[in-house]
């Protein structure tokens, strides 16, 4: 439960689409471009990924609890300061993107590293459960800020504008949740194994997690780079949609179905909530499936399935049901990344060092977090005079091609063999 509580708070970064409409409103307070809104999200994801490498080292050295609690302090502080000081693009870029992203990076790896050690017999399912809260959390923050309470339109704390007031409220909640969850993050005793479970034989030719690679050894394998690049390809699509679903939904529903901006915005918010719910369910489901059919087979299936979904999304998004269904499928597949990649990292490079090694693999997510939103933002800004949703077609097709490429790469990857010392 501690891990889920932490992840519910960290899922805040996936609620960024909640803020893109008021931030990019040409008649509003901030008047940002689509690319500027994308940069806050992208820098947050990149910082998250980079700091996670350091967090993996720190939690192995000083223990998981202090790293998780520090993550809560940094995350909460970033959002609270963005509320009070975030009137400009640069301030929000630094406070939400860099400081907030660093807080997420510190706390995120802790439940994964801890739970893989407590449950080595079900790595796929347990990592899926550990990070499911990340997806479900986005639903809470999107709906609370939008349809449930209208925080980004009506909340005024300390005389601040609604967007910045929401940052302050969310920052306080994020700190509290991560702090409480971090208190119970402890490793099992040395030599622990679940009752009745025996570790598989340490055959380095099979992906069992029994053979441990240091980070340096892992980085010298071709398998690491294949997994890393596949992660970039498969995460790019989901991160692109998280960033642009509000903007795309408004364009598509206005042009194809005749909805007003307000109606389209509400529907897109619902689609994002379904995306987040299915994101959480996808983490659990793909993790459990991978325990049955193998990590590699599950990754291949997920990549190809996501490629098809992205091809279809541009055409589905012009109808209310199509936007919601398409977002749900993409969210479900995207969620699978966060169960499958930590699990395959443990399988290929060992359970012992997964907290350190997965930080390096997770850098791929940071690259995808820049590429996906920036590709979409660039095409949107380049088509300012467009009166339809055509600006989104090319970026969605690029994302689809990347997913298919990732699936192809995984078909040829085999478990690494560790050379004898």
Q: What is the pTM for the complete model shown?
A: 0.77
* Cβ 154 vs Cβ 28: under 8 Å: no
Predicted pLDDT at 209: 54
Angle between helices 261-293 and 123-143 (to 10 degrees): 170
pLDDT of residue 260: 87
Q: So what's the pLDDT on residue 385?
A: 65
Instruction: List, for residues 213-268, the tens digit of each pLDDT value.
Output: 888 999 999 999 999 999 999 999 999 998 888 889 988 998 888 888 888 988 98
pLDDT attached to residue 233 = 96
What residues of the chain score a pLDDT lower than 70? 123, 197, 199-210, 385-387, 418-421
Look at residue 360 in the predicted model and tell me its pLDDT: 92
- The reported pLDDT for the residue numbered 287 is 85
**CA 313/CA 403 separation, integer angstroms:** 14
CATH number of 2-187+208-411: 1.20.1250.20
Q: Torsion-angle region of residue 206: left (phi > 0), alpha (psi -120 to 50) or beta?
A: beta
Q: Write the DSSP symbol of residue 418.
A: P
CA distance 368 to 138: 19
CA separation for the pair 215, 356 (Å, rounded): 7
pLDDT, tens digit (0-9, with 9 covering 90-100), for 331-383: 999 999 988 998 899 889 887 787 788 889 989 988 998 899 889 988 888 87
């Amino acid at each position: 439960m501690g891990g889920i509580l932490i992840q519910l708070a960290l899922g805040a970064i996936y609620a960024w689409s909640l803020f893109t409409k008021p931030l990019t409103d040409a008649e509003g307070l901030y008047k940002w471009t689509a690319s500027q809104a994308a940069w806050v999200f992208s820098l947050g994801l990149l910082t998250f990924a980079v700091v996670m490498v350091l967090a993996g080292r720190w939690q192995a050295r000083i223990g998981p609890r202090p790293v998780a609690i520090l993550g809560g302090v940094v995350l909460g502080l970033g959002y609270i300061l963005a509320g009070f000081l975030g009137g400009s693009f640069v301030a929000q870029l630094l406070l939400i993107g860099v400081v907030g992203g660093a807080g997420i990076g510190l706390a995120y790896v802790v439940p994964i590293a801890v739970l893989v050690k407590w449950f080595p017999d079900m790595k796929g399912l347990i990592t899926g459960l550990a990070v499911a809260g990340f997806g479900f959390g986005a639903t809470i923050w999107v709906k609370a800020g939008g349809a449930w309470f209208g925080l980004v339109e009506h909340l005024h704390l300390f005389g601040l504008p609604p967007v910045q007031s929401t940052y302050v409220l969310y920052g306080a909640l994020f700190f509290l949740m991560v702090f409480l969850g971090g208190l119970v993050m402890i490793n099992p005793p040395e030599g622990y194994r679940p009752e009745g479970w025996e570790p598989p034989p340490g055959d380095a030719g099979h992906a069992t997690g029994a053979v441990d690679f240091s980070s340096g050894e892992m980085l010298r394998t071709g398998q690491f780079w294949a997994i890393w690049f596949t992660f970039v390809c498969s995460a790019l699509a989901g991160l692109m949609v998280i960033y642009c679903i509000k903007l795309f939904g408004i364009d598509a529903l206005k042009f194809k179905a005749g909805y007003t901006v307000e109606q389209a915005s509400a529907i897109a918010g619902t689609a994002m909530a379904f995306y987040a719910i299915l994101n959480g369910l996808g983490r659990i489901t793909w993790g459990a499936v991978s325990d049955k059919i193998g990590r590699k087979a599950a990754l291949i299936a997920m990549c190809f399935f996501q490629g098809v979904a992205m091809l279809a999304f541009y055409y589905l998004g012009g109808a209310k049901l199509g936007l919601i269904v398409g977002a749900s499928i993409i969210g479900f597949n995207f969620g699978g990344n966060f169960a499958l990649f930590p699990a395959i990292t443990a399988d290929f490079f060992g359970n012992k060092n997964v907290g350190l090694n997965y930080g390096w693999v997770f850098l791929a997510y940071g690259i995808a977090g820049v590429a996906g939103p920036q590709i979409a933002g660039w095409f949107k800004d380049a088509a300012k005079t467009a009166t339809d949703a055509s600006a989104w077609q090319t970026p969605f097709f690029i994302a689809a091609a990347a997913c298919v490429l990732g699936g192809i790469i995984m078909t040829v990857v085999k478990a690494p063999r560790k050379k004898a010392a």
